[in-house]
Amino acid sequence: MPSNEIKATSYRSTVSSAIPSLGPMLGLIILVIIVTILNPAFLEPLNILNLLRQVAINALIAFGMTFVILTGGIDLSVGSTLALSSAIMASMLVSGTPPLIAISAGCILGAGLGAVNGIMVTKGKMAPFIATLATMTIYRGLTMVFTEGNPITGLGDDWLFQLFGRGYFLGIPVPAVTMAIMFALLWVLLNKTSFGRKIYAIGGNEKAALISGIKVQRVKIMVYSLAGFLAALSGGILTSRLDSAQPTAGSSYELDAIAAVVLGGTSLSGGRGRIVGTLVGALIIGTLNNGLNLLGVSSFYQAVVKGVVIAIAVLMDRKKAA
């Protein structure tokens, strides 16, 4: 093959591989332009900061969901995990426990709840959808039992706890800073470590990964634990923002997280995707919600629009997989 044809083929291959990663970012830019045209108030600094604060919770949950989906799994229990861990955090704060210890305990609990999912999937040989559907119901029920169906309030006025969900660091909302730090750590974990390579290998071909010596069960349990940890961390942020723990907190959060992952280009069949795309996907969901609120669109119609966007993203994923 002549050198010119080789270069042309290489160029086309590079472009075709870059388009999927650029797609979510291009979609976000177009969405921002449309919302700004319809309501210029969208780009006001105060609204952008508010948007970042709102996006942080979904983004953190979606980061964990990305790891799970990359292994070919799914976690429907993250919203319930958030609620149960938040209730435990809040009860500890009410009893006078220092915020750092309460939040840490909640995150450890979240990781443990995630590990239960991983054990059910690996040791119990249950389909991830069924296993996490069961724990979603169990964890939500435990939350209702623990709180007796009532919000936990009177969390105190400790500045550190208030800072976690409502404060600012160098003019940037602390939840957004937390999101950025976790994104950087998880990006390194996924792209620069052997653990990340094992995740992609399992999602790409689990049997081949097992034959190659990868401890598939251990990796999966760790991945589900990570998802639970991040859900609990999000719960801490939400509890601080609301200054209370609601027994219904986190309802449908798993759907927003899955939507962010899919919009970001991660394949639901596993083995293909990037955490950068998930961040962009979370920003798309956040921008959509924020923009529709600014435009005064009814929450009922917002649900319809979000569902249409998710359906389009899944159809695009199916088309790429075909």
Q: Rounded to an integer, what distance in angstroms lies between the CA atom of residue 242 and that of residue 245?
A: 7
pLDDT score, position 312: 77
| pLDDT 10s digits, 174-224 | 999 999 999 999 999 999 999 999 999 999 999 999 999 999 999 999 999
Q: Which helix (H) or strand (E) holds 168?
A: strand 168-169
Provide the Cα torsion 251, 252, 257, 261; round to 10°: 170
Instruction: Kindly indicate the confidence band of residue 72, based on its pLDDT and cuts at 50, 70 and 90.
Output: very high
Residues of the chain above pLDDT 90, percent? 64
Looking at 2-11, 92-101, 269-278, which range is the least confident one?
A: 2-11
Contacts of 165 (CB under 8 A, 6+ apart): 174, 175, 236, 237, 238, 239, 240, 241, 242
pTM attached to this predicted model = 0.90
Tokens standing for residue 7: 């270069």
Q: Rounded to an integer, what distance in angstroms lies between the CA atom of residue 244 and that of residue 72?
A: 35
| pLDDT 10s digits, 117-126 | 999 999 999 9
pLDDT score, position 318: 66
Q: Rounded to an integer, what distance in angstroms lies between the CA atom of residue 56 and that of residue 235?
A: 11
| pLDDT 10s digits, 77-95 | 999 999 999 999 999 999 9
Instruction: Report angle CA 200, 203, 209 to the nearest 5 degrees.
Output: 80
State the average pLDDT over residues 251-267: 90
Residues of the chain above pLDDT 70, percent? 91
Looking at 2-16, 26-40, 171-185, which range is the least confident one?
A: 2-16
State the average pLDDT over residues 152-177: 89
State the average pLDDT over residues 281-306: 87
Has residue 255 got a pLDDT over 60? yes
State the average pLDDT over residues 2-17: 43
